[in-house]
Structure 1
Amino acid sequence: MTASPSFRLVFAGTPEAAVPSLRALHAAGHDIAAVVTRPDAPQGRKRVLTPSPVAVEAERLGLPVIRAARLDDDATSEIVALDADLGVVVAYGGLVREPLLSAPAHGWINLHFSLLPRWRGAAPVQHALIAGDDELGTAVFRLVRELDAGDVYAQAPVPLPDDATAGEALAVLADAGAEQLAGVVAAIADGSAVAVPQSGEPTPAPKLRLEDGALDWTQPAGRILARWRGVTPEPGAHTTVGGGRVKVLRMERAPGAPGLAPGETASSKRGVLVGTRTDPLLVTRVQPSGRGPMDAADWLRGARDAVRFGA
Protein backbone atom coordinates (compact mmCIF):
# COMPACT_ATOMS: atom_id res chain seq x y z
CA MET A 1 0.00 0.00 0.00
CA THR A 2 1.37 3.42 -0.93
CA ALA A 3 1.59 5.85 1.96
CA SER A 4 -0.36 9.09 1.86
CA PRO A 5 1.68 12.11 0.73
CA SER A 6 0.45 13.84 3.91
CA PHE A 7 2.89 11.74 6.00
CA ARG A 8 5.50 14.34 6.94
CA LEU A 9 9.16 13.29 7.17
CA VAL A 10 12.53 14.68 8.18
CA PHE A 11 15.38 12.86 6.42
CA ALA A 12 18.94 12.87 7.80
CA GLY A 13 21.79 11.49 5.69
CA THR A 14 25.13 12.49 4.21
CA PRO A 15 27.02 10.07 1.90
CA GLU A 16 26.16 8.53 -1.46
CA ALA A 17 24.81 5.43 0.32
CA ALA A 18 21.92 7.53 1.67
CA VAL A 19 20.88 8.96 -1.71
CA PRO A 20 18.80 5.95 -2.92
CA SER A 21 16.72 6.13 0.28
CA LEU A 22 16.02 9.83 -0.16
CA ARG A 23 14.98 9.22 -3.76
CA ALA A 24 12.73 6.31 -2.77
CA LEU A 25 10.91 8.29 -0.08
CA HIS A 26 10.47 11.27 -2.39
CA ALA A 27 9.15 9.03 -5.18
CA ALA A 28 6.66 7.48 -2.74
CA GLY A 29 5.00 10.87 -2.37
CA HIS A 30 5.91 11.67 1.22
CA ASP A 31 6.06 15.28 2.36
CA ILE A 32 9.77 15.66 3.15
CA ALA A 33 9.81 18.77 5.32
CA ALA A 34 13.61 19.03 5.34
CA VAL A 35 16.78 17.10 4.62
CA VAL A 36 19.46 17.24 7.32
CA THR A 37 23.03 16.66 6.19
CA ARG A 38 26.54 17.50 7.29
CA PRO A 39 28.09 20.78 6.12
CA ASP A 40 30.04 21.16 2.87
CA ALA A 41 33.50 19.63 3.26
CA PRO A 42 36.84 20.23 1.51
CA GLN A 43 37.50 17.68 -1.24
CA GLY A 44 40.45 16.86 -3.49
CA ARG A 45 43.96 18.27 -3.54
CA LYS A 46 42.69 21.83 -3.84
CA ARG A 47 40.37 21.29 -0.83
CA VAL A 48 37.36 22.77 -2.59
CA LEU A 49 34.28 23.02 -0.35
CA THR A 50 31.84 20.45 -1.73
CA PRO A 51 28.26 19.68 -0.68
CA SER A 52 27.46 16.15 0.49
CA PRO A 53 25.87 13.76 -2.02
CA VAL A 54 22.61 13.98 -0.04
CA ALA A 55 22.68 17.78 -0.17
CA VAL A 56 23.17 17.66 -3.95
CA GLU A 57 20.24 15.26 -4.38
CA ALA A 58 17.98 17.21 -2.02
CA GLU A 59 18.58 20.40 -3.94
CA ARG A 60 17.94 18.59 -7.21
CA LEU A 61 14.60 17.44 -5.80
CA GLY A 62 13.79 20.93 -4.57
CA LEU A 63 13.82 19.97 -0.88
CA PRO A 64 14.87 22.30 1.98
CA VAL A 65 18.33 21.47 3.34
CA ILE A 66 19.59 21.90 6.91
CA ARG A 67 23.37 21.68 7.14
CA ALA A 68 24.51 20.67 10.61
CA ALA A 69 27.76 19.09 11.78
CA ARG A 70 25.86 17.75 14.79
CA LEU A 71 22.33 17.92 16.06
CA ASP A 72 22.92 20.61 18.68
CA ASP A 73 20.37 22.93 20.28
CA ASP A 74 20.06 25.13 17.20
CA ALA A 75 19.60 22.22 14.79
CA THR A 76 17.20 20.55 17.23
CA SER A 77 15.02 23.66 17.47
CA GLU A 78 14.91 23.99 13.69
CA ILE A 79 13.93 20.34 13.19
CA VAL A 80 11.39 20.26 16.04
CA ALA A 81 9.65 23.28 14.52
CA LEU A 82 8.96 21.25 11.37
CA ASP A 83 6.42 19.15 13.29
CA ALA A 84 7.29 15.94 11.42
CA ASP A 85 5.41 12.66 11.75
CA LEU A 86 8.60 10.61 11.45
CA GLY A 87 12.36 11.10 11.36
CA VAL A 88 14.44 8.90 9.03
CA VAL A 89 18.22 8.45 9.34
CA VAL A 90 20.52 6.86 6.77
CA ALA A 91 24.24 7.35 7.51
CA TYR A 92 23.92 10.94 8.68
CA GLY A 93 27.11 10.85 10.74
CA GLY A 94 25.77 12.19 14.04
CA LEU A 95 23.67 11.05 16.99
CA VAL A 96 19.99 11.87 17.52
CA ARG A 97 19.49 12.62 21.21
CA GLU A 98 16.64 13.83 23.38
CA PRO A 99 14.61 15.99 23.08
CA LEU A 100 14.92 15.55 19.32
CA LEU A 101 14.61 11.77 19.57
CA SER A 102 11.04 12.06 20.83
CA ALA A 103 10.01 15.08 18.78
CA PRO A 104 8.37 13.42 15.74
CA ALA A 105 5.00 11.81 16.45
CA HIS A 106 6.32 8.37 15.38
CA GLY A 107 9.91 8.86 16.56
CA TRP A 108 12.91 8.09 14.35
CA ILE A 109 13.90 5.06 12.30
CA ASN A 110 17.30 4.12 10.90
CA LEU A 111 18.38 2.13 7.85
CA HIS A 112 21.46 0.14 8.94
CA PHE A 113 23.70 -1.88 6.65
CA SER A 114 23.95 -5.09 8.66
CA LEU A 115 21.82 -7.88 10.07
CA LEU A 116 21.32 -6.61 13.61
CA PRO A 117 22.45 -7.09 16.29
CA ARG A 118 25.61 -8.05 14.41
CA TRP A 119 27.82 -5.07 13.62
CA ARG A 120 26.34 -2.20 15.54
CA GLY A 121 28.26 0.98 14.81
CA ALA A 122 29.62 3.26 12.11
CA ALA A 123 31.30 0.69 9.85
CA PRO A 124 29.14 -2.46 9.65
CA VAL A 125 29.92 -3.40 6.04
CA GLN A 126 33.66 -3.02 6.51
CA HIS A 127 33.74 -5.14 9.65
CA ALA A 128 31.52 -7.82 8.13
CA LEU A 129 33.86 -8.23 5.17
CA ILE A 130 37.01 -8.19 7.30
CA ALA A 131 35.49 -10.90 9.49
CA GLY A 132 34.66 -12.99 6.42
CA ASP A 133 30.92 -13.06 7.10
CA ASP A 134 29.03 -15.29 4.68
CA GLU A 135 25.97 -13.05 4.75
CA LEU A 136 25.45 -9.29 4.72
CA GLY A 137 22.16 -7.44 4.75
CA THR A 138 20.12 -4.42 5.80
CA ALA A 139 17.85 -3.59 8.73
CA VAL A 140 15.38 -0.83 9.54
CA PHE A 141 14.99 -0.22 13.26
CA ARG A 142 13.60 2.30 15.72
CA LEU A 143 16.18 4.70 17.12
CA VAL A 144 16.70 4.56 20.88
CA ARG A 145 19.32 6.05 23.16
CA GLU A 146 21.57 2.97 22.98
CA LEU A 147 23.58 2.69 19.76
CA ASP A 148 21.77 0.67 17.06
CA ALA A 149 19.82 -1.24 19.72
CA GLY A 150 16.21 -0.43 18.88
CA ASP A 151 13.46 -2.83 17.85
CA VAL A 152 13.65 -3.95 14.21
CA TYR A 153 10.84 -3.33 11.72
CA ALA A 154 12.46 -5.27 8.87
CA GLN A 155 15.73 -6.91 7.94
CA ALA A 156 16.89 -9.20 5.17
CA PRO A 157 20.10 -10.63 3.68
CA VAL A 158 21.28 -9.13 0.39
CA PRO A 159 23.18 -11.24 -2.19
CA LEU A 160 26.59 -9.80 -3.07
CA PRO A 161 29.39 -10.75 -5.48
CA ASP A 162 32.02 -12.91 -3.78
CA ASP A 163 34.78 -10.38 -4.50
CA ALA A 164 32.87 -7.18 -3.63
CA THR A 165 34.81 -4.51 -1.79
CA ALA A 166 33.18 -2.49 1.00
CA GLY A 167 32.44 0.31 -1.44
CA GLU A 168 30.88 -2.02 -3.98
CA ALA A 169 28.91 -3.91 -1.33
CA LEU A 170 27.60 -0.69 0.19
CA ALA A 171 26.27 0.46 -3.18
CA VAL A 172 24.26 -2.78 -3.54
CA LEU A 173 23.05 -2.64 0.07
CA ALA A 174 22.04 1.02 -0.33
CA ASP A 175 19.72 0.19 -3.24
CA ALA A 176 18.19 -2.83 -1.50
CA GLY A 177 17.86 -0.96 1.77
CA ALA A 178 16.09 1.99 0.12
CA GLU A 179 13.29 -0.30 -1.01
CA GLN A 180 13.10 -1.89 2.43
CA LEU A 181 13.04 1.51 4.13
CA ALA A 182 10.27 2.82 1.88
CA GLY A 183 8.19 -0.23 2.77
CA VAL A 184 8.65 0.35 6.50
CA VAL A 185 7.74 4.04 6.22
CA ALA A 186 4.59 3.10 4.30
CA ALA A 187 3.69 0.56 6.99
CA ILE A 188 4.21 3.09 9.78
CA ALA A 189 2.06 5.56 7.87
CA ASP A 190 -0.85 3.13 7.48
CA GLY A 191 -0.54 1.70 10.98
CA SER A 192 0.51 -1.83 10.00
CA ALA A 193 4.18 -1.68 11.06
CA VAL A 194 5.40 -4.10 13.72
CA ALA A 195 8.85 -3.91 15.34
CA VAL A 196 10.45 -6.79 17.25
CA PRO A 197 13.37 -6.74 19.73
CA GLN A 198 16.79 -7.67 18.45
CA SER A 199 17.86 -11.21 19.21
CA GLY A 200 21.41 -12.48 19.60
CA GLU A 201 24.79 -11.27 20.82
CA PRO A 202 25.71 -7.76 19.57
CA THR A 203 29.06 -7.17 17.91
CA PRO A 204 30.65 -3.71 17.62
CA ALA A 205 31.58 -2.04 14.32
CA PRO A 206 33.49 1.14 15.22
CA LYS A 207 34.78 3.53 12.58
CA LEU A 208 37.98 2.22 10.98
CA ARG A 209 41.30 4.04 11.37
CA LEU A 210 44.08 4.43 8.82
CA GLU A 211 46.13 1.73 10.54
CA ASP A 212 43.26 -0.75 10.06
CA GLY A 213 44.11 -0.73 6.36
CA ALA A 214 47.61 -2.18 6.86
CA LEU A 215 47.99 -5.59 5.18
CA ASP A 216 49.92 -8.29 7.03
CA TRP A 217 51.44 -10.66 4.47
CA THR A 218 52.28 -13.26 7.12
CA GLN A 219 48.57 -14.06 7.39
CA PRO A 220 46.76 -16.58 5.15
CA ALA A 221 45.70 -15.31 1.74
CA GLY A 222 41.99 -15.50 2.56
CA ARG A 223 42.32 -13.27 5.62
CA ILE A 224 44.44 -10.72 3.75
CA LEU A 225 41.95 -10.59 0.91
CA ALA A 226 39.07 -10.22 3.38
CA ARG A 227 40.78 -7.25 5.05
CA TRP A 228 41.57 -5.68 1.67
CA ARG A 229 37.90 -5.94 0.67
CA GLY A 230 36.76 -4.49 3.99
CA VAL A 231 39.01 -1.41 3.94
CA THR A 232 38.56 -0.57 0.25
CA PRO A 233 38.04 2.25 -0.55
CA GLU A 234 38.05 3.65 3.03
CA PRO A 235 40.30 3.94 4.96
CA GLY A 236 42.27 2.24 2.16
CA ALA A 237 44.49 -0.84 2.07
CA HIS A 238 48.22 -0.25 2.17
CA THR A 239 51.57 -1.90 2.67
CA THR A 240 55.11 -0.71 3.26
CA VAL A 241 57.75 -1.02 0.55
CA GLY A 242 61.28 0.15 1.31
CA GLY A 243 60.00 2.13 4.27
CA GLY A 244 57.39 3.99 2.18
CA ARG A 245 53.66 3.40 1.98
CA VAL A 246 51.99 1.97 -1.12
CA LYS A 247 48.21 1.81 -1.43
CA VAL A 248 46.85 -1.49 -2.74
CA LEU A 249 43.91 -0.49 -4.93
CA ARG A 250 43.07 -3.81 -6.62
CA MET A 251 43.90 -7.34 -5.53
CA GLU A 252 42.63 -10.83 -6.26
CA ARG A 253 43.44 -14.50 -5.87
CA ALA A 254 46.09 -16.03 -8.10
CA PRO A 255 45.19 -19.70 -8.69
CA GLY A 256 48.15 -21.84 -9.73
CA ALA A 257 50.78 -19.19 -9.00
CA PRO A 258 54.16 -20.44 -7.75
CA GLY A 259 54.76 -20.31 -4.00
CA LEU A 260 56.40 -17.22 -2.49
CA ALA A 261 57.53 -16.33 1.02
CA PRO A 262 55.30 -13.82 2.85
CA GLY A 263 55.87 -10.37 1.32
CA GLU A 264 58.09 -11.73 -1.47
CA THR A 265 57.08 -10.44 -4.92
CA ALA A 266 57.31 -11.73 -8.47
CA SER A 267 56.30 -10.10 -11.74
CA SER A 268 53.24 -11.24 -13.65
CA LYS A 269 51.68 -10.12 -16.92
CA ARG A 270 48.69 -8.78 -14.99
CA GLY A 271 50.42 -7.35 -11.95
CA VAL A 272 52.56 -8.28 -8.96
CA LEU A 273 52.39 -11.65 -7.21
CA VAL A 274 52.83 -11.33 -3.44
CA GLY A 275 53.53 -14.20 -1.08
CA THR A 276 51.40 -14.89 2.01
CA ARG A 277 51.39 -17.61 4.67
CA THR A 278 49.46 -19.75 2.16
CA ASP A 279 48.89 -18.97 -1.53
CA PRO A 280 50.18 -15.86 -3.32
CA LEU A 281 47.83 -13.01 -4.17
CA LEU A 282 47.86 -10.88 -7.31
CA VAL A 283 48.04 -7.10 -6.88
CA THR A 284 46.95 -5.39 -10.10
CA ARG A 285 46.64 -1.70 -9.16
CA VAL A 286 48.67 0.42 -6.72
CA GLN A 287 49.29 4.01 -5.70
CA PRO A 288 52.78 4.78 -4.43
CA SER A 289 53.15 7.65 -1.98
CA GLY A 290 53.06 11.02 -3.75
CA ARG A 291 51.96 9.55 -7.07
CA GLY A 292 48.71 8.71 -8.83
CA PRO A 293 47.11 5.29 -9.26
CA MET A 294 48.92 3.00 -11.72
CA ASP A 295 49.08 -0.58 -12.95
CA ALA A 296 51.06 -2.68 -10.50
CA ALA A 297 53.02 -4.36 -13.33
CA ASP A 298 54.22 -0.97 -14.61
CA TRP A 299 55.12 0.13 -11.10
CA LEU A 300 57.18 -3.03 -10.46
CA ARG A 301 59.04 -2.66 -13.76
CA GLY A 302 60.01 0.88 -12.82
CA ALA A 303 61.30 -0.03 -9.37
CA ARG A 304 65.06 0.42 -9.05
CA ASP A 305 65.51 -2.14 -6.31
CA ALA A 306 63.98 -5.50 -5.46
CA VAL A 307 60.47 -5.03 -4.06
CA ARG A 308 59.29 -6.69 -0.90
CA PHE A 309 55.88 -5.98 0.60
CA GLY A 310 55.70 -5.28 4.31
CA ALA A 311 59.34 -4.17 4.51
Structure 2
Amino acid sequence: MWERAEQIVHQGPDAVRPDDLPERVRQAVRRFGEDSGTTGFLLLRGLEVGELPPTHSDGEPATLPGHGTAGLAMIIAETLGTMIGYADEKNGDLVHNVQPLPGEETRIEGSGSVAFDFHIENVHHALRPDFIGLICLRQDHDKVAATRVSSVREAVERLKPSTLDVLRECQFYSNYPGSFTRDSTVEPAPAGPHPVLFGDAGKPLMRFNSHNTVSLSKAGRAALRALAEALEEVCHEVIMQPGDCALLDNHVAAHGRSAFTPRYDGQDRWLRRFYSIQSVPRSVLQMMGGSRVIPPIPAIQGIW
Protein backbone atom coordinates (compact mmCIF):
# COMPACT_ATOMS: atom_id res chain seq x y z
CA MET A 1 0.00 0.00 0.00
CA TRP A 2 2.93 2.36 0.61
CA GLU A 3 3.94 2.35 -3.05
CA ARG A 4 0.37 3.20 -4.03
CA ALA A 5 0.27 5.99 -1.41
CA GLU A 6 3.42 7.51 -2.88
CA GLN A 7 1.79 7.50 -6.32
CA ILE A 8 -1.38 9.17 -5.04
CA VAL A 9 0.43 11.95 -3.21
CA HIS A 10 1.78 13.12 -6.58
CA GLN A 11 -1.49 12.58 -8.47
CA GLY A 12 -3.83 14.01 -5.82
CA PRO A 13 -6.90 12.60 -4.07
CA ASP A 14 -8.86 12.35 -7.33
CA ALA A 15 -6.62 9.37 -8.14
CA VAL A 16 -7.82 7.34 -5.13
CA ARG A 17 -9.44 4.00 -6.07
CA PRO A 18 -11.95 2.03 -3.98
CA ASP A 19 -9.46 -0.80 -3.46
CA ASP A 20 -6.53 1.31 -2.26
CA LEU A 21 -7.06 0.16 1.33
CA PRO A 22 -6.86 -3.50 2.34
CA GLU A 23 -10.37 -4.98 2.37
CA ARG A 24 -10.67 -5.38 6.15
CA VAL A 25 -9.46 -1.83 6.80
CA ARG A 26 -11.60 -0.40 4.01
CA GLN A 27 -14.73 -2.00 5.43
CA ALA A 28 -13.96 -0.72 8.94
CA VAL A 29 -13.43 2.83 7.68
CA ARG A 30 -16.58 2.74 5.56
CA ARG A 31 -18.68 1.45 8.47
CA PHE A 32 -17.29 4.23 10.63
CA GLY A 33 -18.17 6.76 7.95
CA GLU A 34 -21.74 5.47 7.84
CA ASP A 35 -22.20 5.31 11.61
CA SER A 36 -19.49 6.35 14.06
CA GLY A 37 -21.38 4.81 16.97
CA THR A 38 -21.34 5.94 20.56
CA THR A 39 -17.67 6.92 20.73
CA GLY A 40 -17.22 8.66 17.38
CA PHE A 41 -13.66 7.28 17.32
CA LEU A 42 -11.73 4.67 15.35
CA LEU A 43 -8.03 3.84 15.72
CA LEU A 44 -6.10 2.28 12.83
CA ARG A 45 -2.69 0.83 13.66
CA GLY A 46 0.30 -0.40 11.72
CA LEU A 47 0.38 2.10 8.85
CA GLU A 48 3.75 2.63 7.22
CA VAL A 49 5.31 6.06 7.77
CA GLY A 50 8.45 5.71 5.65
CA GLU A 51 11.67 7.62 6.00
CA LEU A 52 11.37 10.86 7.94
CA PRO A 53 13.54 13.97 8.09
CA PRO A 54 14.09 15.72 11.45
CA THR A 55 10.89 17.24 12.84
CA HIS A 56 12.69 20.60 12.88
CA SER A 57 15.90 21.98 11.44
CA ASP A 58 17.29 25.23 12.88
CA GLY A 59 13.87 25.92 14.37
CA GLU A 60 12.08 25.52 11.04
CA PRO A 61 9.47 22.73 10.76
CA ALA A 62 9.79 19.99 8.16
CA THR A 63 7.12 20.04 5.44
CA LEU A 64 7.40 16.59 3.78
CA PRO A 65 6.58 17.50 0.17
CA GLY A 66 5.55 14.41 -1.77
CA HIS A 67 5.73 12.09 1.24
CA GLY A 68 3.68 8.89 1.18
CA THR A 69 1.86 9.69 4.43
CA ALA A 70 -0.02 12.41 2.53
CA GLY A 71 -1.13 9.71 0.10
CA LEU A 72 -2.30 7.55 3.03
CA ALA A 73 -4.28 10.52 4.34
CA MET A 74 -5.88 10.99 0.91
CA ILE A 75 -6.88 7.33 0.67
CA ILE A 76 -8.50 7.32 4.12
CA ALA A 77 -10.20 10.70 3.66
CA GLU A 78 -11.67 9.66 0.32
CA THR A 79 -12.93 6.39 1.83
CA LEU A 80 -14.82 8.43 4.44
CA GLY A 81 -16.08 11.11 2.06
CA THR A 82 -14.26 13.90 0.21
CA MET A 83 -10.93 15.32 1.32
CA ILE A 84 -11.04 19.09 1.86
CA GLY A 85 -8.96 22.01 3.06
CA TYR A 86 -9.85 25.58 4.00
CA ALA A 87 -8.56 28.66 2.19
CA ASP A 88 -8.44 30.51 5.54
CA GLU A 89 -6.34 27.81 7.24
CA LYS A 90 -2.76 26.88 6.37
CA ASN A 91 -3.08 28.27 2.82
CA GLY A 92 -5.66 25.66 1.90
CA ASP A 93 -3.34 22.69 2.43
CA LEU A 94 -5.08 19.32 2.43
CA VAL A 95 -2.60 17.75 4.85
CA HIS A 96 -1.36 19.66 7.90
CA ASN A 97 1.81 19.01 9.84
CA VAL A 98 1.22 19.15 13.60
CA GLN A 99 4.54 19.91 15.27
CA PRO A 100 5.61 21.96 18.29
CA LEU A 101 7.29 25.19 17.24
CA PRO A 102 9.87 27.18 19.20
CA GLY A 103 8.31 30.18 20.90
CA GLU A 104 4.76 28.87 20.44
CA GLU A 105 4.63 26.50 23.38
CA THR A 106 1.59 28.19 24.95
CA ARG A 107 -0.47 28.56 21.76
CA ILE A 108 -3.73 26.62 21.88
CA GLU A 109 -3.23 24.94 18.52
CA GLY A 110 -1.08 22.29 16.91
CA SER A 111 2.13 24.32 17.21
CA GLY A 112 1.87 24.44 21.01
CA SER A 113 2.85 21.90 23.64
CA VAL A 114 0.64 22.91 26.58
CA ALA A 115 -2.52 20.95 27.36
CA PHE A 116 -5.19 21.47 24.73
CA ASP A 117 -8.74 21.01 26.07
CA PHE A 118 -11.72 19.41 24.35
CA HIS A 119 -12.82 20.83 21.03
CA ILE A 120 -14.16 19.92 17.64
CA GLU A 121 -12.32 21.19 14.58
CA ASN A 122 -13.35 24.55 13.12
CA VAL A 123 -16.21 25.15 15.55
CA HIS A 124 -16.74 28.62 14.07
CA HIS A 125 -17.31 27.38 10.53
CA ALA A 126 -20.62 26.60 8.83
CA LEU A 127 -18.92 23.82 6.82
CA ARG A 128 -17.08 21.99 9.55
CA PRO A 129 -15.37 18.75 8.52
CA ASP A 130 -17.40 15.61 9.17
CA PHE A 131 -14.25 13.66 10.04
CA ILE A 132 -10.71 14.42 11.01
CA GLY A 133 -7.73 12.11 10.85
CA LEU A 134 -4.46 12.23 12.74
CA ILE A 135 -1.54 10.10 11.57
CA CYS A 136 1.31 9.74 14.06
CA LEU A 137 4.77 9.95 12.50
CA ARG A 138 6.81 10.42 15.65
CA GLN A 139 6.07 10.36 19.39
CA ASP A 140 7.29 12.92 21.90
CA HIS A 141 10.53 12.00 23.65
CA ASP A 142 8.89 11.00 26.92
CA LYS A 143 5.98 9.19 25.25
CA VAL A 144 3.48 11.02 27.45
CA ALA A 145 1.59 13.18 24.93
CA ALA A 146 -1.89 11.67 24.83
CA THR A 147 -4.62 12.31 22.30
CA ARG A 148 -7.68 12.77 24.52
CA VAL A 149 -11.02 11.76 23.00
CA SER A 150 -14.44 12.31 24.54
CA SER A 151 -17.86 11.51 23.08
CA VAL A 152 -20.82 13.81 23.51
CA ARG A 153 -23.04 10.72 23.36
CA GLU A 154 -21.40 9.40 26.50
CA ALA A 155 -21.15 12.80 28.18
CA VAL A 156 -24.85 13.68 27.92
CA GLU A 157 -25.69 10.71 30.13
CA ARG A 158 -24.07 12.67 32.98
CA LEU A 159 -25.92 15.93 32.41
CA LYS A 160 -29.22 17.09 33.90
CA PRO A 161 -32.18 17.49 31.55
CA SER A 162 -32.27 21.21 32.34
CA THR A 163 -28.61 21.53 31.28
CA LEU A 164 -29.29 19.68 28.04
CA ASP A 165 -32.17 22.06 27.34
CA VAL A 166 -29.87 25.07 27.75
CA LEU A 167 -27.19 23.54 25.51
CA ARG A 168 -29.78 23.13 22.75
CA GLU A 169 -30.68 26.82 22.85
CA CYS A 170 -29.37 29.06 20.08
CA GLN A 171 -27.44 31.31 22.47
CA PHE A 172 -23.77 30.36 22.08
CA TYR A 173 -20.95 32.02 20.14
CA SER A 174 -17.66 30.55 18.92
CA ASN A 175 -14.51 32.55 18.28
CA TYR A 176 -12.18 31.72 15.42
CA PRO A 177 -9.31 29.37 16.33
CA GLY A 178 -5.73 30.59 16.08
CA SER A 179 -5.10 28.57 12.92
CA PHE A 180 -7.61 30.81 11.10
CA THR A 181 -6.38 34.13 12.50
CA ARG A 182 -2.61 33.63 12.56
CA ASP A 183 -1.99 36.17 9.78
CA SER A 184 -4.93 38.46 10.56
CA THR A 185 -4.59 41.89 12.15
CA VAL A 186 -8.33 42.08 12.90
CA GLU A 187 -10.21 39.78 15.28
CA PRO A 188 -13.22 38.42 13.35
CA ALA A 189 -16.64 38.56 14.96
CA PRO A 190 -17.52 35.24 16.60
CA ALA A 191 -19.83 32.83 14.82
CA GLY A 192 -23.32 32.51 16.23
CA PRO A 193 -25.62 32.43 17.93
CA HIS A 194 -25.72 28.65 17.63
CA PRO A 195 -26.65 25.67 19.82
CA VAL A 196 -23.95 23.47 21.36
CA LEU A 197 -26.08 20.32 21.15
CA PHE A 198 -28.32 19.49 18.21
CA GLY A 199 -29.75 16.50 16.39
CA ASP A 200 -31.66 13.51 17.75
CA ALA A 201 -31.76 13.30 21.55
CA GLY A 202 -30.67 9.65 21.40
CA LYS A 203 -27.71 10.39 19.08
CA PRO A 204 -26.78 14.01 19.81
CA LEU A 205 -24.27 16.03 17.83
CA MET A 206 -22.02 18.76 19.21
CA ARG A 207 -20.63 22.15 18.24
CA PHE A 208 -18.23 23.03 21.06
CA ASN A 209 -14.72 24.26 21.73
CA SER A 210 -13.84 24.66 25.39
CA HIS A 211 -11.41 27.46 24.50
CA ASN A 212 -13.56 29.34 22.00
CA THR A 213 -17.27 28.69 22.68
CA VAL A 214 -18.91 31.19 25.03
CA SER A 215 -22.32 32.34 26.26
CA LEU A 216 -23.54 35.74 27.36
CA SER A 217 -25.95 34.25 29.90
CA LYS A 218 -25.25 32.84 33.34
CA ALA A 219 -27.22 29.69 32.54
CA GLY A 220 -25.30 29.22 29.30
CA ARG A 221 -21.92 29.57 30.99
CA ALA A 222 -22.94 27.07 33.68
CA ALA A 223 -24.08 24.63 30.99
CA LEU A 224 -20.75 24.94 29.15
CA ARG A 225 -18.87 24.19 32.38
CA ALA A 226 -21.07 21.17 33.04
CA LEU A 227 -20.48 19.85 29.53
CA ALA A 228 -16.71 20.29 29.85
CA GLU A 229 -16.77 18.40 33.16
CA ALA A 230 -18.87 15.59 31.68
CA LEU A 231 -16.53 15.28 28.70
CA GLU A 232 -13.62 15.02 31.12
CA GLU A 233 -15.36 12.25 33.04
CA VAL A 234 -15.84 10.08 29.94
CA CYS A 235 -12.46 10.87 28.36
CA HIS A 236 -10.36 8.14 26.77
CA GLU A 237 -6.62 8.79 26.43
CA VAL A 238 -4.65 7.32 23.55
CA ILE A 239 -0.87 7.63 23.39
CA MET A 240 -0.43 7.34 19.66
CA GLN A 241 2.55 5.46 18.25
CA PRO A 242 4.16 5.89 14.83
CA GLY A 243 1.88 4.29 12.27
CA ASP A 244 -1.33 4.95 14.23
CA CYS A 245 -4.17 6.86 12.61
CA ALA A 246 -6.94 8.25 14.80
CA LEU A 247 -10.24 8.93 13.03
CA LEU A 248 -12.83 11.12 14.75
CA ASP A 249 -16.41 12.00 13.90
CA ASN A 250 -16.12 15.77 14.26
CA HIS A 251 -19.77 16.10 15.33
CA VAL A 252 -19.59 13.42 18.02
CA ALA A 253 -16.07 13.18 19.45
CA ALA A 254 -14.31 16.16 20.95
CA HIS A 255 -10.57 15.80 21.25
CA GLY A 256 -7.64 17.39 22.99
CA ARG A 257 -4.03 16.76 23.89
CA SER A 258 -2.10 16.45 27.12
CA ALA A 259 0.99 18.58 27.69
CA PHE A 260 4.48 17.47 26.69
CA THR A 261 7.98 18.93 26.61
CA PRO A 262 9.55 19.49 23.18
CA ARG A 263 13.33 19.55 22.83
CA TYR A 264 13.66 20.93 19.30
CA ASP A 265 16.38 18.40 18.53
CA GLY A 266 14.80 17.00 15.37
CA GLN A 267 13.02 14.14 17.14
CA ASP A 268 9.94 15.88 18.56
CA ARG A 269 6.34 14.76 18.28
CA TRP A 270 4.92 14.94 14.76
CA LEU A 271 1.42 14.21 13.48
CA ARG A 272 -0.25 14.80 10.13
CA ARG A 273 -3.88 15.99 10.12
CA PHE A 274 -6.50 15.80 7.40
CA TYR A 275 -10.21 16.52 6.95
CA SER A 276 -13.04 14.71 5.18
CA ILE A 277 -16.58 15.92 4.47
CA GLN A 278 -19.53 13.99 3.09
CA SER A 279 -21.34 16.81 1.30
CA VAL A 280 -20.74 20.39 0.19
CA PRO A 281 -23.58 22.69 -0.96
CA ARG A 282 -23.75 23.13 -4.72
CA SER A 283 -23.33 26.89 -4.38
CA VAL A 284 -20.04 26.40 -2.56
CA LEU A 285 -18.88 23.75 -5.04
CA GLN A 286 -19.34 26.30 -7.80
CA MET A 287 -17.13 28.76 -5.93
CA MET A 288 -14.51 26.06 -5.38
CA GLY A 289 -14.10 25.70 -9.15
CA GLY A 290 -13.13 22.03 -9.07
CA SER A 291 -10.70 22.37 -6.18
CA ARG A 292 -11.01 20.74 -2.75
CA VAL A 293 -10.49 23.97 -0.83
CA ILE A 294 -13.45 25.60 0.92
CA PRO A 295 -13.39 29.33 -0.02
CA PRO A 296 -12.63 32.03 2.56
CA ILE A 297 -15.44 32.59 5.07
CA PRO A 298 -16.42 36.06 3.73
CA ALA A 299 -17.07 34.50 0.30
CA ILE A 300 -19.52 31.87 1.61
CA GLN A 301 -21.29 33.72 4.42
CA GLY A 302 -24.49 33.76 2.40
CA ILE A 303 -25.04 30.04 3.05
CA TRP A 304 -25.79 30.48 6.76
Does TM, normalized by the shorter one, top 0.5?
A: no
Q: RCO higher in 1 or 2 (8 Å CA, sep ≥ 6)? A: 2
TM-score by length of 2: 0.22
TM-score by length of 1: 0.22
Structure of greater Rg: 1
